Amino acid sequence: MTKIIPFKAVRPAPAYAGLVASRSYEDYSEAELRAQLEFNPYSFLHIINPGYKFQHEIGGEKRFGMVKNRYLEFKEEKTFIQDEQACYYIYNIKTREASCCGIIAATSVEDYEKDVIRRHEDTIAHREELFKEYLKVVGFNTEPVLLTYPDDAIINELLEERMKSRPEYEFATYNKEIHSLWLIDDPDNISKIKAQFAAMDKLYIADGHHRSASSWLLAKESKANNPHHTGKEAYNYFMSYLISESNLRIFEFSRLIKDLNSHTKEEFLIKLDEWFRIENRGSEIYKPSKKHHFNMYLDGEFYSLYLRKTNYEFTDSLSELDSYILFEKILKPILGIKDLRNDKRIAYIHGRNDLIELKTRIDSGEFRVGFGMMPAGIEEIKQIADENLTMPPKSTYIEPKLRSGLTIYEF
């Protein structure tokens, strides 16, 4: 049984929605970020980069307090308003390739604690703690955790019917996406949605493992410090974007390595031969089309690597995962990459960017060798979560990516 509830979102007044909404802070180049901050006074980037107002770089807890101040200014200036009634929010993103629709709601921290909300990635303790402190100071959540559930005919019908009406927001972005948002404030529809999710025995985190973990830490601390805790407080929930499994788009990450770990090219290929059947594809750009097939780019040539299954033992769902196989049989033992998060010799390109970028960065001399694979499927991700296993870092790049600042959850 899963518990999601409506909430009173703080969100842009309709006239400002398209100007407020921003991509993830890390997604902007330095020039783009500077242009947004210079020419768009309504951008949500002003809140998360509060030092710009003073032309000063600010870090640590001092920055957290200034983030809250910028946020309060947006509310005081009526750029942000708060709904008087608790709602669910339908958020639809239409790109050139696809359309994705889901529900923004408040999700139970207790469900996370009890593994009703299941995870497939490890989190880093100091990042959890840092973001928990950030949440405690600012008092709001702006980026929903992406959760997925099996397609549900009743929920789909409710969303489709509501989306026939005019949206509260609708705006286009520079990358030719159209973002739309509707409110679900009808009590009957709220009850139906709540009941449909209550009938589900689990949800899965697609993206946002650190955000959900930090919200759980904050809830534990807040509960311990509140002698009148009832379980109904806002800190018992975190904001999520719930989408059906058919709406998820899962891409892979390619790996780029700076050197061959002191091996010559010939030595490296011989070591690979133990675990993979190798074919030189020359200048032909090769992309795998099956599980356990990999592509490699080295010295101006593409190679296909096919796992020798007679040598390799599949023991659980993690051992079947291509990113795990790549780590266990090439990156760690041959190339000496043991820490996928922090080793400076490795970098990643998500599958949204094609192999031309991988080729270009290797040809430039920045990296020596690159590897690619098929993206993981949703059933693989769920099976790994159900077995309480964790995928290697950068195993999946998952869309949709929501704009920040359109719905804010206060606690």
**pLDDT value of residue 55:** 64
- What is the signed CA dihedral for 228, 232, 236, 240, rounded to 10 degrees? -160
**Residue 276 structural domain:** 253-395
Total domains in the chain come to 2
In sequence order, which residues have a C-beta less than 8 Å from that of residue 241 and are 6 or more positions away?
Answer: 91, 102, 103, 104, 144, 145, 146, 147, 400, 402
User: Do residues 293 and 368 share a domain?
Assistant: yes
User: Do residues 235 and 266 share a domain?
Assistant: no
User: Do residues 211 and 273 share a domain?
Assistant: no
User: Residue 341 corresponds to which tokens in the numbers above?
Assistant: 């998060």
In sequence order, which residues have a C-beta less than 8 Å from that of residue 67 and are 6 or more positions away?
Answer: 47, 48, 50, 134, 137, 138
User: Do residues 98 and 232 share a domain?
Assistant: yes
In sequence order, which residues have a C-beta less than 8 Å from that of residue 376 and are 6 or more positions away?
Answer: 250, 252, 321, 322, 323, 391, 395, 396
Q: What is the DSSP letter of 374?
A: P
pTM score:
0.92
In sequence order, which residues have a C-beta less than 8 Å from that of residue 168 and are 6 or more positions away?
Answer: 14, 181, 182, 183
Cis? peptide before 400, omega within 30° of 0: yes
User: Do residues 37 and 185 share a domain?
Assistant: yes
User: Do residues 64 and 200 share a domain?
Assistant: yes
User: Do residues 36 and 132 share a domain?
Assistant: yes
**pLDDT value of residue 123:** 87
**pLDDT value of residue 49:** 87
**pLDDT value of residue 59:** 65
Q: How far apart (Å, rounded) are the C-alpha atoms in residues 226 and 184?
A: 32
Task: Give 352's Cβ-side CA count (13 Å radius).
Answer: 11
User: Picking from 219-223, 243-247, 340-344, which range would have the lowest pLDDT averaged per residue?
Assistant: 340-344
User: Do residues 386 and 239 share a domain?
Assistant: no
Q: For 11-59, write each residue's pLDDT tens digit.
A: 999 999 999 999 988 888 889 999 999 999 999 999 998 877 666 666 6
User: Do residues 168 and 148 share a domain?
Assistant: yes
- Tell how strand 80-82 and strand 293-298 pair up: unpaired
User: Residue 243 corresponds to which tokens in the numbers above?
Assistant: 């989408």
Q: How far apart (Å, rounded) are the C-alpha atoms in residues 235 and 228?
A: 13
User: Residue 311 corresponds to which tokens in the numbers above?
Assistant: 């040598």
Q: For 304-349, write each residue's pLDDT tens digit.
A: 999 999 989 999 999 999 999 999 999 999 999 999 988 999 999 9
153-162 and 187-198 are packed helices; what angle lies between their axes, rounded to 10 degrees? Answer: 150
Q: Where are the beta strands (DSSP E) in 293-354?
A: 293-298, 301-307, 346-350
Inter-residue contact 349 to 254 (CB < 8 Å) = yes
125-138 and 209-224 are packed helices; what angle lies between their axes, rounded to 10 degrees? Answer: 60
Residue 380 maps to which CATH number? 3.30.1760
Average pLDDT over all residues of the chain: 94
Task: Give 366's Cβ-side CA count (13 Å radius).
Answer: 14
User: Do residues 43 and 140 share a domain?
Assistant: yes
User: Do residues 194 and 128 share a domain?
Assistant: yes
User: Do residues 140 and 227 share a domain?
Assistant: yes
Q: How far apart (Å, rounded) are the C-alpha atoms in residues 175 and 305?
A: 35
**pLDDT value of residue 56:** 63
